Amino acid sequence: MSTAARPLVARRPAGPLTGRIAVPGDKSISHRALMFGALAVGETRITGLLEGEDVLRTAAAMRALGAEVTHDPDGTWRVAGRGVGGLTEPADVLDMGNSGTAARLLCGILASHDLFAVMTGDASLRGRPMRRVIDPLTGCGASFTARDGGRLPLAVQGAKDALPLDYRVPVPSAQVKSAVLLCGLNAPGITRVEEPEATRDHSENMLRHFGATVQVTLVGTGRVIQLHGQPELIAADVVVPGDPSSAAFPLVAALLVPGSRVTITGVGLNPLRTGLLATLAEMGADLRIENQRTEGGEPVGDVVATHGPLKAITVPPQRAPSMIDEYPILAVAAAGAEGITRMRGLKELRVKESDRLAATAAMLDANGVRVEIEGDDLIVHGMPGGIPGGATVTTHMDHRLAMSALIFGLAAEAPVAVDDAAFIDTSFPGFTALMDRMGARLTPT
């Protein structure tokens, strides 16, 4: 990834945002498609893969572990897998760039393979905690050596004869759950994960898609997942839907810029990922879902967003797992809503690419919006008559914060700049060009 900063500024467009667009493929599903393809027998074909920096790091890691990963001219990706337990020791350090998802899920794969590997990442990823996956994964017999707090660089000695795990995730985390399940693939018996709140279930869906036996039991607001270990995963084609987290940015832009109407095609509508759509609907957003269908085991549809007034609400804490990546852009929507919006239970935002809770509050405050943090709650005082803007936002190497600030600038009275937009490509390659096609004004400073 380039280390050169790319400042960018967003101004209120001359007219409404319009168009029919497609956002890049779902990042969570893209990571998993490459990983499960590498663990399957045969060749998996993947279409719609997100070709952002984060996912490309996963592709490189799978190659380094012995899978054959190729990219056809038509955009199709092919993964010739090694089978469960068949990965080989990498010859060099695995550099996961900025991707916490890739790093944590890969820890699960490495833990139950009898090999030695070292993993690192960029400055942002090296500051993020890995203890949350290291602690449960040591139970399979793996050993980890890391910096203070379980931070990268991280050395892994996988278990010679991995043991199945039985783990209750202390806080909702699809990454921790998935790491434990990936570890359990190469262990005999049943690996069991209990989560207190249901989190995105792409791993469970994809495990079934590749032929594993997975049982899910609802327990209150949470779930118990049981995976039968050492299956023979069989290569299966994967169609990656549009990422709902990426769709959130043009969607909110359309809601805030007067006269706008935008259709985003082929968006993933997994019910454990649609918390933002539910929240915006409660705020009175003019949203419509068209052409609903199922692709690759995941629900998909076209989302039509039309400008209109928004009203403040209280977002319950139990909704956080279904929209954890969307709170910065929701805060932008709340800045343009009538009333005071309270988003509750955002502790998980403190350990993202940046401390997203503090960084989101700082973004709004710098641009003239009254905002408060009370415990793990974010409180935004809406300014439907016009949000001021005018500041330069420090992005902290956080792609979602950068995109949220730029969307803010489209709706603000004064231009909003970001100190660095280079990291947007980790999750949304082509973001600037796509927004400009809709009628936005994003230009270098």
Report, as residue numbers or ranges, the catalytic residues.
325
Residues 123 and 149 sit within 8 Å (Cβ to Cβ): no
Question: Angle at Cα 227 formed by Cα 223 and Cα 230, nearest 5°?
Answer: 170
SS3 at position 442? strand
What are the DSSP E strand ranges found in 115-178?
116-120, 143-147, 151-157, 166-168
Query: How many residues does this entry show for the chain?
Result: 445
Q: What are phi and psi of 180, to 5 degrees?
A: -65, -40
Q: Which residues pair with 167 in a beta bridge?
A: 193
What is the C-alpha separation between 137 and 112, in angstroms, rounded? 9
Coil, strand, or helix at residue 81?
A: coil
Distance CA 423, CA 406 (A): 13
| C-alpha torsion sign, points 164, 166, 170, 176 | positive
What torsion, rounded to 10 degrees, do the Cα atoms 38, 42, 46, 49 define?
10
Q: Between vectors from CA 110 to CA 231 and to CA 325, what angle results, nearest 5°?
A: 95
